[in-house]
Amino acid sequence: MAVTDTSGGQAPPPPSDPPGGARLAATRRRAKAFGGVLLSLALTLLGLLLVTFVIGRVMPIDPVLKVVGERATPEQYEAARQAMGLDQPIIVQFVTYIGDVLRGNFGRSISTGHPVVEDLRRVFPATLELATLGTLIGVLVGVPLGVVAAARRGGWIDQIARVAALVGYSMPIFWLGLMGLLVFYGKLNWVGGPGRQDILYDGMVPTVTGMLLIDSLVAGDWGAFRDAFSHIILPAALLGYFSLAYISRMTRSFMLEQLSAEYITTARVKGLSERRVVWGHAFRNIAVPLTTVIALSFGGLLEGSVLTEIIFSWPGIGSYITKALLAGDMNAVLGGTIIVGVCFIGLNVLSDVLYRFLDPRAT
């Protein structure tokens, strides 16, 4: 029965939101969240540039002297100093530094004589290839190991996972690398030696991505692919083991928290199989934090593979920065540091995007 007013007519319908109002509000929330991410990204990049700029100024290394040499006259020294902009106020130097970095100009490397950006374009794919394969090993082994260890808490798999994680955190990486070379290369000859490939294949694969495994597949050179794989598998397995230790430990911790929740008890009472309870319910709920863990692990391998690259003579960004630091080549050191920092920032942004995609409730 319709509600009528005092004059006997039908009452007007209650006011409602304008068409598309809810959609417009949701769009505004997304835009606000996107703007917050962009602002955070810009501030983080600015902080990274400020830190690297300060490091370049406080290091006890004279960049002008590195360029002109110790036998330069005072006139030559002052001319080089002015050409490098070091006679300008510090604020002007910082603004110029930001502009150069945004244009991809990191200066010229004293060690190689090439622009730093060209050196980084050459060495970074080697580190990216090594870290990616190591992360894949850590994820493919560490995640199932952590899930099973939590599902069978106190069992023999759980004990193995905990011991493996403990050893991974405790063993010095340089010792494991040297022992790996001694056993698997020196004694058993199962893998290739130091370096990315044998001298027979050096320069035979056209450079497309800079990653030998992919480039050799693109070229259809299976001999080069097998050689590159034999060289990368040992250092990648070493990095993968450390990634595995971290990922499996965090996966086990996340799963234990979920398996003790009330909704898991309810699912078991309903008669669901243990496999469905563990993988279909508990594991789905740890996907969001686990994504962040994997992203941080990948970033850690990108910047933390210095010792591995040195032990295996791997021509990546870690060994490049180390050699540049020993030579006092600050342009190369700061350029490499910025690239690694940008990778970390990018991985954090990517994990935040995946967080929002995996959990639509996040705003």
Number of Cβ within 10 Å of residue 239's Cβ equals 27
Residue in 45, 298, 308 with CA at minimum distance from that of residue 180: 308
Q: Is residue 315 part of a domain?
A: yes
Same domain, 294 and 351: yes
Same domain, 96 and 137: no
The full 3-state SS of 27-83, as one line of letters, equals: HHHHHHHHHHHHHHHHHHHHHHHHHHHHHHHHCCCCHHHHHHCCCCCHHHHHHHHHH
| Percent of the chain at pLDDT exceeding 70 | 89
Q: Is residue 73 part of a domain?
A: yes
CB burial of 137-157 (b: ≥16 within 10 Å; e: otherwise) equals bbbebbbebbbbbbbeeeeee
Same domain, 124 and 94: no
Same domain, 184 and 241: yes
Q: Is residue 72 part of a domain?
A: yes
> Which residue range is the domain that position 73 belongs to?
44-102
Instruction: Quote the pLDDT of residue 332.
Output: 86
Give the type of residue at 107.
G
Same domain, 141 and 81: no
Q: Give the integer Cα–Cα distance in Å for 21 and 29.
A: 12
Over the chain (363 residues), what is each successive 10-residue block's mean pLDDT? 48 53 69 72 82 78 73 79 79 86 84 87 92 93 92 87 83 86 90 86 85 90 91 92 90 90 86 86 86 87 82 89 83 86 83 70 55
Same domain, 98 and 245: no
Q: Give the integer Cα–Cα distance in Å for 176 and 172.
A: 7
Number of domains in the chain: 2
Q: What angle do CA 174, 180, 186 make, to 5 degrees?
A: 125
Same domain, 161 and 131: yes
Same domain, 169 and 250: yes
Sign of CA dihedral 228, 230, 231, 236: positive
Q: Considering the entire predicted model, what is its pTM? A: 0.81
Note the maximum CA span of the chain: 106
Radius of gyration (Cα) for the chain, nearest Å? Answer: 28
DSSP structure class, residue 199: G
Decide: 33 and 81 in contact? Cβ < 8 Å. Answer: no
Residue in 333, 308, 335 with CA at minimum distance from that of residue 322: 333
Same domain, 161 and 65: no
Residue in 55, 138, 51, 111 with CA at minimum distance from that of residue 344: 51
pLDDT digits (tens, 9 = 90+) for 32-71: 766 776 777 788 888 888 888 887 777 777 777 777 777 7
- The helix (run of H) or strand (run of E) holding residue 195 is none
pLDDT digits (tens, 9 = 90+) for 103-153: 888 888 888 888 989 999 999 999 999 999 999 999 999 999 999 999 888
Instruction: Quote the pLDDT of residue 199.
Output: 84
Q: Give the integer Cα–Cα distance in Å for 17 and 56.
A: 57
Q: Is residue 175 part of a domain?
A: yes
Same domain, 67 and 156: no
Alpha helix stretches (DSSP H) within 59-185: 63-68, 74-83, 90-102, 116-151, 156-170, 173-180
Q: Give the integer Cα–Cα distance in Å for 223 and 244.
A: 30
Q: Give the integer Cα–Cα distance in Å for 194 and 188.
A: 15
Q: Is residue 228 part of a domain?
A: no
Q: Is residue 151 part of a domain?
A: yes
In the chain, % helix, strand, coil (3-state, to 5) comes to 75, 0, 25
Q: Give the integer Cα–Cα distance in Å for 54 and 65.
A: 19
Q: Is residue 269 part of a domain?
A: yes
DSSP states of 270-291 as a string? TT--HHIIIIIIIHHHTHHHHH
Q: Which two tokens stand for residue 198?
A: 């044998």
Same domain, 183 and 264: yes
DSSP structure class, residue 4: B
CATH code for the domain of 307 = 1.10.3720.10
Q: Which two tokens stand for residue 266?
A: 């309810």
Q: Is residue 219 part of a domain?
A: no
Same domain, 96 and 241: no
Instruction: Quote the pLDDT of residue 1.
Output: 43
